[in-house]
């Protein structure tokens, strides 16, 4: 059983007046007081009246209203239609009562907006017109123009206008995950090509990592300035790396992305799958909050991180279809494990499976709120 954390809080996104001055006057941290929501209070290491919960991929195929509104519309077109993206982002907040919305988009959107030929092929995932594998390929990559991000800004603005005091979490793919897709030209099980490039052509890898870090940072900044109250950097494929390669070839680029948005003061969550051995390095990249996948108990994650770290996670998505008794018992265990942290945001240890019964998610949110609500 986990112990209540007594270590000093080592990482905190302090929402100071100086940092808030970097945000526009209409930002919900200023106008809607999202900084006092349970979600942002918890992400910044402060107490809240209940443990907040949101789900990765909460906006998506598990919802019938999502499937209906997206019928016949390609994925990237959905992401770049501000009204549609806003509506999809809001759907799970209305249905489930989660404590935050996660912006509906895709990690390849920044490269798409920069002018890189990429599409999402149903049943396969992101596929590039041409892989990026040489230094010459990388030198020819277009830069992401600020004006190209206007549809993202519009979608975020439309979303936060309707969210009120419920915060929006922005997101971007971490540089390694973005670069891995670009080198492979599409999805991969083992990411051999980018792992090979790191050692065979480190100059090319460095240039690609810098490009990916810049575009991810621009993508996050646009969301923050338009109204996101927190952000998450997703490193979907970092689990394919050993610690030495991560520290040498990946961590510096993630650090650039996270540092580029530090001045805004919004909490920065860093999450990857299969990254149990990489958690300390991910924290050192500059995150305020560490997301933990379902493979590692939160107490062990806290031990590896050295204590005092706000954690997010880590209900196993498989339990969503295992019956309520099993899910409730597992959730109780996760909540108990979360006591090892100074503050704990409840989430899944990966995304919501598309076959999930949405009524289970709604019931789970209610259960977490009830189990963790503090007496007034």
195-200: list long-range contacts, CB under 8 Å, 24+ apart: 195/240, 195/241, 195/245, 197/133, 198/245, 198/248, 198/249
The Cα 45–Cα 30 span in angstroms is 19
> What is the separation, in whole angstroms, between the first and last Cα of the chain?
27
The Cα 48–Cα 30 span in angstroms is 19
The Cα 27–Cα 163 span in angstroms is 12
The Cα 341–Cα 344 span in angstroms is 6
For 25, the token pair is 């006057």
> Which of the residues are catalytic?
57, 61, 70, 106, 181
Phi then psi dihedrals of residue 270, to 5 deg: -120, 120
62: preceding bond cis by omega (within 30 degrees): no
Phi then psi dihedrals of residue 104, to 5 deg: -80, 110
């Amino acid at each position: 059983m986990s112990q209540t954390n007594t270590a000093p809080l080592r990482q905190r996104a302090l929402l100071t007046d100086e940092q808030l001055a970097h945000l526009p006057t209409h930002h919900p941290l200023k106008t809607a007081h999202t900084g006092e929501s349970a979600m942002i209070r918890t992400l910044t290491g402060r107490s809240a009246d209940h443990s907040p919960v949101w789900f990765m991929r909460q906006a998506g195929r598990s919802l019938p209203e999502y499937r209906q509104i997206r019928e016949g519309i390609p994925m990237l077109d959905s992401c770049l239609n501000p009204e549609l993206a806003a509506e999809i982002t809001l759907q799970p907040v209305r249905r489930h009562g989660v404590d935050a919305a996660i912006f509906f988009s895709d990690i390849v959107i920044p490269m798409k907006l920069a002018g890189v030929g990429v599409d999402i092929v149903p049943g396969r995932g992101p596929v590039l017109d041409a892989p990026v594998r040489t230094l010459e390929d990388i030198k020819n990559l277009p830069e992401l123009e600020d004006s190209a991000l206007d549809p993202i800004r519009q979608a975020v603005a439309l979303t936060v206008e309707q969210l009120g005091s419920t915060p929006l979490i922005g997101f971007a793919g971490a540089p390694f995950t973005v670069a891995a897709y670009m080198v492979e030209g599409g999805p991969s099980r083992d990411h051999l090509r980018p792992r090979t490039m790191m050692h065979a052509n480190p100059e090319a890898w460095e240039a690609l990592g810098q490009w990916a870090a810049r575009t991810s940072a621009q993508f996050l900044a646009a969301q923050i300035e338009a109204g996101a109250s927190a952000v998450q950097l997703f490193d979907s494929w970092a689990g394919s790396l050993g610690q030495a390669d991560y520290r040498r070839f990946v961590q510096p680029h993630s650090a650039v992305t996270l540092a580029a948005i530090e001045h805004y003061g919004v909490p920065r969550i860093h999450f990857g799958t299969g990254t149990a051995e990489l958690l300390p390095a991910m924290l050192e990249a500059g995150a305020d909050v560490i997301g933990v996948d379902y493979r590692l108990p939160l107490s062990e994650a806290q031990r590896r991180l050295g204590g005092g770290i706000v954690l997010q996670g880590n209900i196993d998505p498989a339990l969503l279809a295992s019956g309520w008794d099993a899910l409730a018992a597992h959730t109780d265990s996760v909540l108990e494990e979360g006591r090892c942290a100074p503050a704990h945001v409840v989430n899944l240890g990966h995304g919501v499976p598309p076959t999930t019964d949405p009524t289970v998610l709604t019931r789970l949110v209610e259960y977490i709120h009830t189990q963790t609500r503090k007496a007034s």
